[in-house]
Amino acid sequence: MIKLRTYVFIDSLQPQLAAYMATVSQGFLPVPGDACLWMEVAPGMAIHRLTDVALKATRVHLGQQVVERAFGSMVFHHRDQSDVEEAGRAVLHSLRTREDERQKCRVAWSEIVRAITPDHSVLINRQDRRGSMILPGQSMFILETEPAGYIVYAANEAEKAANITLV
């Protein structure tokens, strides 16, 4: 049985998140304004069949696919929200499940580190060269969710709501 862990629809990718996703994308690059759907399932190998269903259902583009033993995830996107929503419905139908049956999001960790030191900022910037850099003196909000796929929704909504930098 395939378990739906994450099902996250994003109506309009914000510029920083779209740019970050493009740096790690193995497939077609998303652009700001695209709608996207992020899905994670268990077991991981099941993601191949679900990717096939999504891509054959509409004109969506596959941005990323990660296949591990325990979990598999995919992100597909398109400028037209209805294509993304329809591809998602096709996948849910093939799973014989509904969006509200996905695993609920749980905040695993959240904290604010204020006034990052120069040493700390250098190490953070070296660890993750895909996003923007954090500068000494800036504060950093850290959020971890379980399943991890929900973090993209939080990042996109934060970018919509406030003047932030995604690191």
pLDDT for the residue numbered 111: 98
pLDDT for the residue numbered 128: 66
With 70 as the cut, is the pLDDT of residue 108 above it? Answer: yes
Picking from 80, 101, 122, the residue at the C-terminal end of a domain is 101
Say yes or no: 116 and 65 in one domain.
no
CATH number of the domain to which 116 belongs: 3.30.70.1710
The fraction of the chain above a pLDDT of 90, given in percent, is 88
In a domain, 166, yes or no: no
Say yes or no: 21 and 77 in one domain.
yes
Mean pLDDT over 77-103 rounds to 98
- Rounded Cα gap, residues 131 and 24, in angstroms: 10
Cβ atoms of 153 and 21 closer than 8 Å: no
Note the Cα 18 to chain centre separation in Å.
10
- Rounded Cα gap, residues 30 and 122, in angstroms: 29
Say yes or no: 49 and 117 in one domain.
no
For residues 110-127, b (16+ Cβ closer than 10 Å) or e, as one string?
eeeeeebeeeebeebeee
pLDDT range class, residue 80, cuts 50, 70, 90: very high
- Give the number of other Cβ atoms within 10 Å of residue 44's Cβ: 16
Count of domains observed in the chain:
2
Rg (CA), the chain: 17
Q: Tell me the pLDDT of the chain averaged across its residues.
A: 95
Cβ atoms of 16 and 132 closer than 8 Å: yes
- Rounded Cα gap, residues 76 and 151, in angstroms: 16
pLDDT range class, residue 131, cuts 50, 70, 90: confident
- Rounded Cα gap, residues 73 and 152, in angstroms: 13
The boundaries of the domain holding residue 150 are: 106-161
Per DSSP bridges, beta strands 140-146 and 106-113 are: antiparallel
- The helix/strand/coil state of 49 is helix
With 70 as the cut, is the pLDDT of residue 135 above it? Answer: yes
pLDDT range class, residue 52, cuts 50, 70, 90: very high
Instruction: Tell me the pLDDT tens digit for each residue of 9-39.
Output: 999 999 999 999 998 888 999 999 999 999 9
Picking from 101, 124, 142, the residue at the C-terminal end of a domain is 101
